[in-house]
Structure 1
Amino acid sequence: MSSYDFDFLVIGGGSGGIASAKRAAIHGKKVAVVERARWGGTCVNVGCVPKKIMYQAATLAEQMKHDVTHYGFEQPQVKLDYQLMKKRRDAYILKLDNIYENGLAQAGISKIIGDASFIDAHTVAIVHGDTVQNVTADKILIAVGGRPMLPDIPGMEYTITSDGFFEMEELPTKAIVVGAGYIAVELAGVLNGLGVDTHLVVRKHKALRTFDDDISDHLDKEMTRQGITIHRNTNGLSKIELQPDGKKKVFMVTEAMNPIGDADIVLYAPGRIPNTESLSLEKVGVEVLPGSGYIKVDDFQNTTAENIYALGDVCGKVELTPMAIAAGRRLADRLFEEGKELSKTSYELVPTVVFSHPTIGTIGMTEKEAVDKYGEANIKVYKSKFPNLYYGIFQMESDDKPKTFMKLVCAGKEELVVGLHIIGMGADEMLQGFGVAMKMGATKADFDSCIAIHPTGAEELVTMGLWGTSPQETGAKVSPLMGAPPPEPTL
């Protein structure tokens, strides 16, 4: 009999931690999950799910305000009952919380509420109110996720974060959103779509600078066309002041501290940091990356301490919910299933979507990254820009219609597709299938040989550069094993 309370203790009740715990339970292990807040973690409560609901609401508003008249409908007199929408959204999130919690009970997993910190390599202290409980386990997984990052500048107490965005009881008249990442552009798009006078403040010249330049440039033009005011090259914020009328005034970092303006809310969304500082990791030899707090792990989710593992946002590598779920399941298989000792998750060629307005879907390398890796002579790029058929009957000049932009980055003699980037209507839904193709090692010829579905936006991805050429027929490829790197092009 084991001398430990549990075979597997998971610290963090988010998507990745719960997925790993349930997989371990399937393997017959005694498992517990520690959570200090709400079941489901960031994604369910203040991330992907409520964000997507708000994106849908903003999209509906845009369609009713701008699009339906082009199809012959009279302008609908629709007024958003924001509090009702929030009530229904929050009720749905609570339902998901309960589903997660009930799923643990059904799997026979123990639930422990409180703040966890390490005492030694197999013992964790869990504090809940005035109660301290020591729990032991053979193996321990850290999956505590992260939280919004807030700098130490004057007036930061007058801001809200992405967490606070979901607590708003009413829509502001004017909002200043600070940040250049996907959270900032997503929430700016939602606010703007719901009729808020929206300003986006970026440190440098545009948002999403780590994305392919063609994609971030396209988004920049679309946000401007939609009415978002972008404040560029601000070098960040220097201070925020509360005005006598209750509005918040924002100043950027310049010698004169020039004001950007004032607004009802200032939403600060520059990034996230891991929840590692209260875990007492130093007691058990778990190393964190200098300056970031992210836990150092290898390809198998091993930390620098034996029998202690970490995954998800706390590691700072591909911070996506499905990535954490996949890593959690593979880890449990490796630890507890015979014959799966080499089970791991591949962090390469992971499809990513930004629910901006319009949506962005991307997988693989940017053009610059591909050139840097393979050399410019070994790269071929295909691009297409067009108005979606949705806008076909709109009574406006073609140049004024919103455009979809697509791009394939190919490498080597066989034109292996190493990067695929989309911005436009339906980018989120069409990317998944193309992601599977890229994981299997698809080439441009494979795309060409597939008969396109017409009329759809996705057909552009399989016909780019095809017309006037003879598509090459290629044989099917075998999908790489889970965790294996994607194929390399022949240079």
Structure 2
Amino acid sequence: MSQFDYDLFVIGGGSGGVRAGRIAAEHGARVALAEEYRMGGTCVIRGCVPKKLMVYASGYPGQIHDAQQYGWEATAGRFDWSKFRGKLDAELDRLEGAYRGNLGRSGVTVYDQRAVLSDPHRVTLADGQSFSAAHILVATGGWPFVPDFPGSDLVMTSNEVFKLDEQPESVLVVGGGYIACEFAGIFNGLGTKVTQFYRGAQILRGFDDEARGHVADAMRARGIDLHVGCNVMEVKQVEGGLWVKATNGMEQVFSKVLYATGRVPNSAGLGLEEAGVVLGRNGEIKVDDYSQTNIPSIYAVGDVTDRVNLTPVAIREGHAFADTVFGGTPRKTDHELIPSAVFTQPELGTVGLTEEEARDAGPIEIYAAAFRPMQTLFAGHDERVMMKLIVCGNTRKVLGVHLVGDHAGELIQLAGVAVKMGATKEDFDATVAVHPTMAEELVTLKTPVRTA
């Protein structure tokens, strides 16, 4: 008989924690999991899934316009926010049920309340129950960060945006990362008047500079009033909405203000420091390649570790942890060459090095093209797709792929396979094009546009 109540206690019911708990249970471990809000975590409940459904909803007016250009008699009418909200809530309920069902079938005991660490082998629930565990896994994700300024309590974050009772007539989006840019595109597509502030010189910091500029130009062309080098000084509640004063001298009233100025690890108040766990400067849990903290019995996966903050990465980290600790198969999660997509409008897909990163690593060749794709060209659009390959001048390996355009997220998944396998520019060239497609440009870029 074990001296512990459980072999594993997971704190957090998001993608990483649920995968870890389920796989550990399938390996024969006695597992419990505590979640204080809703099962599914940020991605399922207030992130990737509802966001992508809103992206789909916001894209239909443009599709209807294009349909007219192709000869269809079609009109958009009015967007029914309440109808969409009802269907969205029902879909999230379904997904949460699926998560619970998978845990139940695996034999995981679920506690629907907050849990904190009492010591390296014990957790205490909000109702006072206390359990011992041989291993504790913290998978509590991240939390939106809002800086402190006059009126900061009046703004909303991505946590609240999915719960709006009605569509705002106007919205100020503050931030320049992928969440801010995605929501700017969503509200703009739905017909809300969108203004966006970003304090930096260009949106989407950390992505390829050329791709960032391409997305920013397209966002402005689609009607988003984007201001860079600009920040909020003050917000006040007034008749008709929220009055905002900006650093560029602008004063304006908006129906809503959405802050998307980054996320921080959700590690506060969990008893981690009291248990001796080392945290980083921003509250991230420091772990090794096997997701183990400096306290041998305590592990952490996902955004709370602030390694690569993507849902599929959290899932892989959780799975690798369970295989390592309970499956007898030590496994590290590979954090290199991870494809990702930003669901701006147009989309951005990326894998590997940016041009700026690659320049510092050695000689490179840049292959790039910007063109008007067939489908939207016929409909009268001026917007261009951008495709870019970064090639090592010595090994000929493709070091990075950056795509801007419709379906870039779908395309980058497959390009990511090639880059992960170490494909060279000649491997791309040897692949016959699929015609007529946008993606064929990836294998028909013959001459570098520049070298460095």
Aligned to 2:133: 137
- 1:385-442 deviation line (CA, Å, top 9, x unaligned): 1111212322x4xxx6211101111114231111110010110111111111111111
Q: How do 1:10-21 residues align onto structure 2 when only pairs under 5 Å count? A: 10-21=10-21
Runs of 5+ in structure 1 lacking a partner?
A: 468-491
Matched, 1:27 2:56: no
Aligned to 2:423: 442
Q: Identify which of 265, 280, 300 aligns with 1:289.
A: 280
Aligned to 1:241: 236
Q: How do 1:372-391 residues align onto structure 2 when only pairs under 5 Å count? A: 372=360, 374-375=361-362, 378-391=363-376
Q: How do 1:82-97 residues align onto structure 2 when only pairs under 5 Å count? A: 82-97=81-96
SS at match of 2:104: helix
Considering only aligned residues, what root-mean-square deviation do their CA atoms show, in Å?
1.4
- 1:254-313 deviation line (CA, Å, top 9, x unaligned): 6xxx234211001111011111111111122111112x1111112211111112111101
Q: Identify which of 346, 368, 376 aligns with 2:334.
A: 346
Matched, 1:104 2:103: yes
Kept in 1, the 8 Å contact 2:367–2:447? The answer is: no
Runs of 5+ in structure 2 lacking a partner?
A: none
Given the two structures, how large is their TM-score scaled by the length of structure 2? 0.97
Q: Distance in 2 between matches of 1:440 and 1:401?
A: 35
Runs of 4+ more than 2 Å apart: none
The aligned amino acid for 1:239 is E
Q: Distance in 2 between matches of 1:317 and 1:412?
A: 30
Kept in 2, the 8 Å contact 1:426–1:457? The answer is: no
Residue 209 (structure 1) shift: 2.2
Aligned to 1:52: 52
Given the two structures, how large is their TM-score scaled by the length of structure 1? 0.89
- 1:26-65 deviation line (CA, Å, top 9, x unaligned): 111111111000000000000000000000001112212x
Q: How do 1:294-443 residues align onto structure 2 when only pairs under 5 Å count? A: 294-338=284-328, 340-341=329-330, 343-372=331-360, 374-375=361-362, 378-394=363-379, 396=380, 401-443=382-424
Residue 384 (structure 1) shift: 1.1
The aligned amino acid for 2:308 is V
SS at match of 1:445: helix
Kept in 1, the 8 Å contact 2:39–2:99? The answer is: yes
SS at match of 2:205: coil
SS at match of 2:8: strand
Q: How do 1:454-469 residues align onto structure 2 when only pairs under 5 Å count? A: 454-465=435-446
Kept in 1, the 8 Å contact 2:198–2:228? The answer is: yes
Matched, 1:232 2:231: no
- 1:143-163 deviation line (CA, Å, top 9, x unaligned): 001111111111112211111
Q: Distance in 2 between matches of 1:332 and 1:260?
A: 53
Q: Distance in 1 between matches of 2:429 and 2:234?
A: 54
Aligned to 1:474: none
Kept in 2, the 8 Å contact 1:448–1:466? The answer is: no
Q: Distance in 1 between matches of 2:414 and 2:257?
A: 38
Residue 246 (structure 1) shift: 3.2
Residue 253 (structure 1) shift: 3.6
Q: Identify which of 429, 448, 452 aligns with 2:433.
A: 452
Identity percentage of aligned residues: 41
Q: Distance in 2 between matches of 1:285 and 1:211?
A: 36
Residue 74 (structure 1) shift: 2.3
SS at match of 2:39: coil
Aligned to 1:472: none
Q: Identify which of 262, 266, 269 aligns with 1:275.
A: 266
